Chain A
Amino acid sequence: MPNINKIGFNPGQKIANPFKTSRKSSNPFEFSNFEGNTLPFADVFEGFENKTVNNSKLKMITSSVAGSMTKLRSSITEPIVNFVNRVRNGISNAWDYAKNTNISDLAGMKVLNDVMQTDIADIGKGLTSSLSGMGKGISEKMSFLNTDVSEIGKGLSTKWNELISKIHTNKINKDTSVNELKAMWEAEIAASAKEAA
């Protein structure tokens, strides 16, 4: 019985009004939050250690972060919905296109059909003619090269012979006979006279 009396109605006991707000604090966010029932900041964010920050400040930050997150959620919800709707409409349109379009109308299908309908012998014929044309072209190029090389060789041999003859003719030393030297000198005089003329 003593226990029953303890939990029974006691008219002398004062019951705190749960709807009454306390106006003793100077916190401006006090009336818009959960009346001090907010979760501690360290419980909301893992790893955060409450060391020197004031408890009332922590409550203020927590409540503002919670409000911001709520706003953020409401702001991103609408675009996501729109995006999903767009994707759904796109898929629907693609499906309609695929369902209603004839496969022969697709781009490239005409060429593919033409190739597939061509006889394999004709393809081989075309390839053979192309290859023979290529070979002919290469053969012509090679023959041109051969001609050119022979011409180059001819020109080189001519130049070489000219150089050798020039070296031989320019071999002027004391072993050259006086008559040869005289003839060379006269040739030089004639050449210089011709140049002057």
Chain B
Amino acid sequence: MNKNVAEIIDALAAHQDHASIEVLEELGTNSPDNEVREYTSRALVRKNIHDSLKIVIINQGKGINDLSPSVAMSTINEILALKDKSEVIKILDDTINMHSDEAVKENARSVKSLLALS
């Protein structure tokens, strides 16, 4: 991954502006590069706000639902490393209860089990 891209992602992760989340979702999670997707997902998890966590949990093909196992596992590890997990648990519960896609539900359920065990 390009060093400049990593710096840009870090800078966007440090921003409190909601527009930064949109840029990360638009350019980062849709990147064809696995490393960029992985780095972006971890940055979104570190933000630990509803809008950023929602992107990596409920969207198919992004975050924990990524087709790349390395991206999915890195995102799960970052979630497990959060100090405040309240917002994550809330989104996971909503996903398990209300999401239409069964695969996304199953992934959310697995992550919640890991959180309970950790």
Q: Which residue of the partner chain, among B2, B5, B11, contacts A174 with CB atoms under 8 Å?
A: B11
Asked if A188 is at the interface of the complex by the 8 Å CB criterion, the answer is yes
Contact B5 A185 (CB under 8 A): yes
Decide yes or no whether B117 CB sits under 8 A from chain A. no
Chain A: minimal CB distance from B61 (Å): 19
Q: Is the CB of B7 within 8 A of A172?
A: yes
| Contact, CB under 8 Å: A178 / B27 | no
Instruction: Mark contacts of B43-73 with chain A using CB atoms, 8 A cut-off: 1 yes-contact digit, 0 otherwise.
Output: 0000000000000000000000000000000
Q: Are A184 and B4 in contact (CB under 8 A)?
A: yes
Contact with B along A52-79 (1 / 0, CB 8 A): 0000000000000000000000000000
Q: Check B11 against A188 for contact (C-beta < 8 Å).
A: no
In the assembled complex, B20 has its CB within 8 A of some CB on chain A: yes
Query: Is B4 touching A188 in the complex (CB atoms < 8 A)?
Result: yes
With A181-B11, A186-B27 known as contacts, the answer to whether A170 contacts B4 (CB < 8 A) is yes
With a CB–CB cut-off of 8 A, which chain B residues contact A42? none
Contact (A182, B4) CB under 8 Å given A174-B11, A176-B11: no
- Residue interface bits B1-32, CB-to-A below 8 A is 1, else 0: 01011011011101101011001000100010
Residues from chain A with Cβ under 8 Å of B7 in the complex:
170, 172
Q: Is A17 engaged at the interface, CB distance under 8 Å to the other chain? A: no
Contact assessment for B8 and A184 in the assembled complex, using a CB-CB cutoff below 8 Å: yes
Total count of chain B residues near the partner, CB < 8 A: 16
Distance, CA A178 to CA B27, complexed state (A): 12
Contact for A173 among B4, B11, B17, B27, CB less than 8 A: B11
Contact A192 B11 (CB under 8 A): no
Instruction: Give chain A's interface residue range (CB within 8 Å of chain B).
Output: 10 to 19
Which residues in chain A, 105-150, are within 8 Å of chain B measured between CB atoms?
A: none
- With the chains together, A182 CA to B31 CA distance in Å? 14
A188 to B23, CA, bound (A): 14
A178 to B7, CA, bound (A): 13
The answer, among A173, A176, A192, for a CB contact under 8 Å with B2, is: A192
A-B pairs with lowest CB-CB distance, top 10: A174-B14, A172-B7, A178-B19, A182-B23, A185-B8, A178-B20, A181-B8, A185-B27, A172-B11, A188-B5
Given contacts A172-B11, A173-B11, A176-B11, 4 further A-B contacts (CB under 8 A): A173-B14, A181-B12, A188-B2, A189-B31
22 contacts between A and B (CB under 8 A): A170-B4, A170-B7, A172-B4, A172-B7, A172-B8, A172-B10, A173-B11, A173-B14, A174-B11, A174-B15, A178-B17, A181-B8, A181-B15, A181-B23, A185-B5, A185-B8, A185-B27, A188-B5, A188-B8, A189-B27, A189-B31, A192-B2
Q: Give chain B's interface residues, CB within 8 Å of chain A.
A: 2, 4-5, 7-8, 10-12, 14-15, 17, 19-20, 23, 27, 31
